[in-house]
Structure formats: structure tokens, C-alpha cells
Amino acid sequence: MTASTTPTVVLVHGAFADAASWIGVIAELQSHGIPVIAPPNPLRGLAADAAYVASVTAQVDGPVILVGHSYGGALITVAGTAENVVGLVYVAAYVLEEGESLGELQGRFPASPLVSNLKQWTYPVEGGDPATEVTITADAFPSVFAADVAADVTQVLAVSQRPLAAAAFEEKATAAAWKTKPSWALVAGADQAINPDVERFGAERAGATVVEIEGASHAVAVSRPKDVADLIRDAVRATS
């Protein structure tokens, strides 16, 4: 693979995390000479966040593989229609259909423990009433989000959460890029944040190449970075 034909991997983090959650995956990809960037995800709403990811993608020279973790999967589903996107990789993620919301996809299956362990906050909105955002309660964070991550790391992750605007759960996807782009998906078999059946259903509906990691938590990119990077490398090889 030459630099000119190797896609750039754009890593999109999900809710309750930041781009540092990709640190192990980034190191693995860089060690194989794969160009990678991990932009911040604003976490303010599906349409706005997808537009941001699309704008980042449009400024990358050459082909792009979009990788989305969790809520980031919904964003790459919409943003992935960009012309230079050549593949999509879903990591313990929501894979939406066009016209579907996160709430509707989740509603097809029993709720995960995440749903009853969210803490509400408010944030100011220019010219309007304060809006609601959510994080995972600190005591539930280890078991819900990162059960297979070392306790000292989990403590840091719990207090450095990036909140998600509650409105994001109701916004509908305006596109489904997997209908025209090849996709890969990693299912975290012990996920307590997203029901693994939600991940399986979305991936199968998209016709994705699926890998399932038994015992993996929602924070699979932190706990199993090599496994995540290996799947991304499969996508890179297939699209180079």
C-alpha cells in the first residue's frame, strides 16, 4: 500500500468519552503506517454532529475510512455519504436506518443497564431555555461502560465523561451510508451500555462484515485496541 492509496482513518468517539479513548487503536494503526485522525465529537445532536464529522472528512485529502464508536456509529451512518468515504467501521455502535432515531432502534430490544443509570445536567442554549444533557452516574460507570478496563483507568474515564445532549436520542438519521459503502462491525459481547442485540441487528441489516468479541465491554477500544485496529486494518486493506 502506498501513502497515496491508503485511506485515512477518521475515528469518531461516542458519548461519555473523548478522542483519547482511541489512544491504543491510534498507536496500533500508526505502527502499521496507516494515517489516522481522531477529531472531537461535539455531542450536541445527530444532525449537527454528523455535519461536523462530514466537514472534517471533506478536508482530508484522498479516501477516508470512517470509524464510529457507540453514538459515533450513528454519525458515520449520516456523514459517510461524503464522496471520499470508501468504508465504514462500527465499533460497539448504533447502525441506524435512514429515518430512524437512536431511541427507535434501541426500542426494538430490551433496555440496557445504561438507561436507568443516566444523570441529567443542563447547559445554556443561546436565545432559549437551558437544554438537557446526560452522563453515566459515577457509581455505575465501571460496570456499564468499562467492565473489562483496569479500575484506575475507569476512575479517570468516569470523571472525564463528555455529556451527550438528550435531544440526540430523538433525532432521525437523514441518510444511511451503508447502503452504498462497504461496512464492518465489531460487536461487544458483554456490552452493558448498548444491548449487544442492537449492535448485531444494525450490523446485519447493513450487510456488514461482523466480528464479535465475547466478554468485551462497551469500552472495547480501550480494553481491546488491537482487536479493534485489526478490524479497521481489514477495512483499509479491502478499500486500498
Q: pLDDT digits over 129-162, tens only?
A: 999 999 999 999 999 999 999 999 999 999 999 9
At 3 the pLDDT is 47
Query: Strand order in 131-136's β-sheet?
Result: 118-123, 131-136, 164-165
Confidence of residue 4 (pLDDT cuts 50, 70, 90): low
The answer on pLDDT for 1 being more than 90 is no
Find the Cα–Cα–Cα–Cα dihedral 6, 10, 55, 2, rounded to 10°: -10
Confidence of residue 43 (pLDDT cuts 50, 70, 90): very high
Confidence of residue 5 (pLDDT cuts 50, 70, 90): confident
Alpha-carbon span 72 to 89, nearest angstrom: 10
The answer on pLDDT for 174 being more than 60 is yes
Buried b (16+ CB within 10 A) or exposed e, 196-219: bebbbebbeebebbbbebeebbbb
Site of grid cell 500500500: 1
Q: Global pTM?
A: 0.97
* 174, HSE (Cβ side, Cα atoms, 13 Å): 9
Confidence of residue 214 (pLDDT cuts 50, 70, 90): very high
- Average pLDDT of the residues of the chain: 97
Alpha-carbon span 109 to 233, nearest angstrom: 31
C-alpha dist (Å) from residue 65 to 98, 142, 172, 207, 232: 20, 30, 23, 17, 8
C-alpha dist (Å) from residue 26 to 21, 122, 127: 10, 33, 39
Site of grid cell 482511541: 22
Alpha-carbon span 69 to 91, nearest angstrom: 5
